[in-house]
Amino acid sequence: MIPIALYLALAAIIFSVGLYGLMTQRSGIRILMCVELMLNAANLNLVAFSSYHHDLTGQVFALFSIALAACEAAIGFAILMALYRMKDTISLDHINILRW
């Protein structure tokens, strides 16, 4: 049995990778991927805790959140597609009309 701390550490690492990417990446697609990483790190946590507590709620929760993550990705890609059509780029640092 692998101790739960290892799962939590792995989740924390994945989450941090996602976080780092979110702050540094410019491409919209990569940002979306980073968000997925973060959501899945949280899912990993849920599942790990679920087996730790011998309680199915966490796994059910993870299933819900996987479905939500898929919806989120769909919306995200739709927005990026629309942006690409207007600006011919998905590099997010070119998109800053709205500020101050």
Partner 1 sequence: MAVENLAFLIPVLPALAFVLTFFLGKKLPTGGAIIPIAAIATSFIISLLITLNLLANPEEVVSQSYSWFAILNVGILVDPLAAVMLTMVTFVSLLIHIYSTGYMSHDKAPSRYFAETALFTASMLGLILSDNILQLFICWELVGVCSYLLIGFWFEKPSAATAAKKAFLTTRIGDVMFLTGIIVLFSDLFKIFNGNVPDGVYILRFDEIFAHIPDLAAINANIFGMEVSHITLITLLFFGGAVGKSGQFPLHVWLPDAMEGPTTVSALIHAATMVTAGVYLVARTFPMFIAAPDSLMVVAYVGAFTAIFAGTMGIVMNDLKRVLAYSTVSQLGYMMLGLGVGAAVGSEAVGIALFHLINHAFFKALLFLCAGSVIHAVGTHDMRQLGGVAKVMPITAITMIIASLALTGIGIPGTSIGTSGFFSKDAIIENAYLFGETTGTWLPYIFSIAAALLTSIYIFRLIFMTFYGKPRTDYGGHESPASMTIPLSILALCALVFGGLTTKTFNTFVSETFVNNFVNMDISSLATLGGYHLAEHAGEEPMLILWLPLIMALAGLVITFLIYGLKIVNMDKLVSRNNPIYKLLYNRYYQNSIFTNFISVKVIYEGFAFAGRAVDRGFDWIVKWFSDFTLEAGESLRQFQTGAVQNYATAVITGVSLLVILIKVVMEVL
Partner 2 sequence: MNLMLVAPELTIAVTGLAVLLIGLFLPTDSKKILGYLASLGVLIALALTVSSLGTEALLFYNTVSIDALSQFFKIVFLVVALLFTIAGIKYTEGNSNTEEFFTLGLFATIGMMFVASANDLMVLFVAFELASLATYALAGFEKKNIKSLEAAMKYFIIGSLSAALMLLGISYVYGATGTTSIPEIAANSATLASSPIGIVAVVLLLAGFGFKIALVPFHMWAPDTYQGSPSVVSALLAAGSKKMGIVAALKVFVVALIALKADWQIAFAILAVITMTYGNVVALKQTSVKRMLAYSSLAQAGYITMAFVVLTPIALGGGIFYALSHGFMKAGAFIATAAVTYMVLSENKDSADPDHIENFRGLGKRMPITALCMTIFVFALAGIPLTAGYMSKFVLFSSTIQSGFVWLAVIAILNSAISLGYYAKIVKYMYFLPTDSEKVSEPFPYTIAMIIAAVGVLALGFWSEPFVHWAMEAASVLLTGGM
Structural contact between residues 90 and 30, judged by C-beta atoms closer than 8 angstroms: no
**Residue 59 lies near partner 1 (rule: CB under 8 A):** no
Structural contact between residues 22 and 35, judged by C-beta atoms closer than 8 angstroms: yes
**Residue 17 lies near partner 1 (rule: CB under 8 A):** no
Q: Measured between alpha carbons, how far is 14 from 60 in angstroms, rounded to an integer?
A: 21
Residues at the interface with partner 2 (CB under 8 A): 8, 11, 15, 18, 22, 28, 31, 35, 38-39, 41-43, 45-46, 48-50, 52-53, 55, 57-58, 60-61, 64-65, 68, 71-72, 75-76, 78-80, 82-83, 85-87, 92, 95-99
